Amino acid sequence: MTKFAIGVDLGGTNLRIAAVDGDGKILEKLTTGTEVLRGRDHVIDEMCAAIQNLSLKYAASGALAGIGVGVPGIIDLQTGMLRESPNLPGWQDYPVREEIESRLGTTVVLENDANAAALGEKWLGAAAAVDDMCMITLGTGVGGAMVLNGHIWHGDRGMAGELGHINIETDGVACGCGGRGCLEQYASATAVKRMAMEAIASGKAPELARAMNDDPEFSAQAVYRMAAIGDEPAREIFRRVGTALGIGVADLVNIFNLPMYVIGGGVAAAWDAFAPTMLKTAKSYSYIYRVTAKDGNTVITHALLGSDAGLIGAARLAMME
């Protein structure tokens, strides 16, 4: 009898739940919008109902190895409390793990969503061949994770890996964290949209303005579509993403000297628009990258599992416990 695990990726926008087998194959995946406005209890209720449905459905074909849940924000791993989660308004100091466990009547493994995604990419994705890696996840915000000696580096209070808050510009754009000029303000989907709005407001981005008027859901993805067809203001926005990421990755190379840095999350789909600037900038700002990249000893690459990385990593985590 094979085993399977339930992996959950609770995002500010989407809630994804999957049954994953021991080889990482997704047996079934449920995706719904996260109804944040209906409150945290509603979201947790819906998540737990789906977990129970999937568990029952696959119980006949294998043993449930565990349930792993990736959530955005800073988790206190000791208490299972969400300490800060800008993308889940109202969830601050919410005992997420306790709430899930009391509904399911079983233990769950809680993990930061970026850590879960890194474990997914480490297991079956871009970083399958290395022991140590760092992942930067470009979503609504920018998350991060380090796998050192094969394990997530959680830090003293489970708060490590806040790579979206590496400083890029001392007096830069104000950030939700209270700082200024954080990587997140230049490389998240939110930042791409903000930079597009700024370009439109300056009157120098007529095609972006037209795209925005035509599309009530105007998003980072729409800006990328404009960049992909050669719109110069849109291309410039992704060069700015690349510069910020290049500085951030150079910092990480100078600090860690890891063999691999993986860029994932929705904005990573715009890889061809930001990667050339990112790699050039990383070369400028890191001697170590310059001397090690040419021998293939430092690789900066894009994630391979797309939006499934977090799900797969959360399931993997449940199997590892």
Interface positions with a second copy (CB under 8 A): 74, 83-84, 132, 144, 146, 148-149, 153-163, 165-170, 177-180, 243, 247, 250-252, 254-259, 284-288, 290-292, 297-298
- Which residue number, 244 or 267, has a Cβ lying nearer to a second copy? 244
CB atoms within 10 A of CB 232: 12
- Which residue number, 229 or 255, has a Cβ lying nearer to a second copy? 255
- The DSSP secondary-structure symbol of 21 reads E
For residues 2-16, one letter each, b for 16 or more C-beta atoms within 10 angstroms of the residue's C-beta and e for the rest, the string is eebbbbbbbbbeebb
Spatial CA neighbour of 124 closest among 291, 289, 318, 315? 315
Cα-based angle 184, 303, 265 (whole degrees, multiple of 5): 35
- Which residue number, 90 or 155, has a Cβ lying nearer to a second copy? 155
- Which residue number, 253 or 311, has a Cβ lying nearer to a second copy? 253
CB of 117 to a second copy, least distance (A): 17
How far apart CA 100 and CA 113 sit, in angstroms, is 16
- Which residue number, 161 or 313, has a Cβ lying nearer to a second copy? 161
As a whole number of Å, the end-to-end CA separation of the chain is 19
CB of 86 to a second copy, least distance (A): 10
CB of 79 to a second copy, least distance (A): 13
E strands within 115-214?
Answer: 133-138, 142-148, 151-152
- Which residue number, 52 or 284, has a Cβ lying nearer to a second copy? 284
CB of 147 to a second copy, least distance (A): 13
How far apart CA 268 and CA 266 sit, in angstroms, is 5
CB of 174 to a second copy, least distance (A): 11
- Whole-number Cα distances in Å, 302 to 58, 228, 247: 32, 17, 17
- Which residue number, 55 or 292, has a Cβ lying nearer to a second copy? 292
CB of 145 to a second copy, least distance (A): 10
- Which residue number, 170 or 202, has a Cβ lying nearer to a second copy? 170
Residue type, 6: I
DSSP code string of 73-112: SEEETTTTEEEE-TTSTT-TTB-HHHHHHHHHTS--EEEE
Spatial CA neighbour of 265 closest among 238, 226, 235, 305? 305
CB of 68 to a second copy, least distance (A): 21
- Which residue number, 85 or 190, has a Cβ lying nearer to a second copy? 85
CB of 84 to a second copy, least distance (A): 6
Q: Where is 46: in which H helix or E strand? A: helix 40-59
CB of 139 to a second copy, least distance (A): 17
Backbone dihedral region for residue 6 (phi beyond 0: left; psi -120 to 50: alpha; all else: beta): beta
* DSSP H helical ranges for 169-231: 184-187, 189-201, 206-214, 220-228
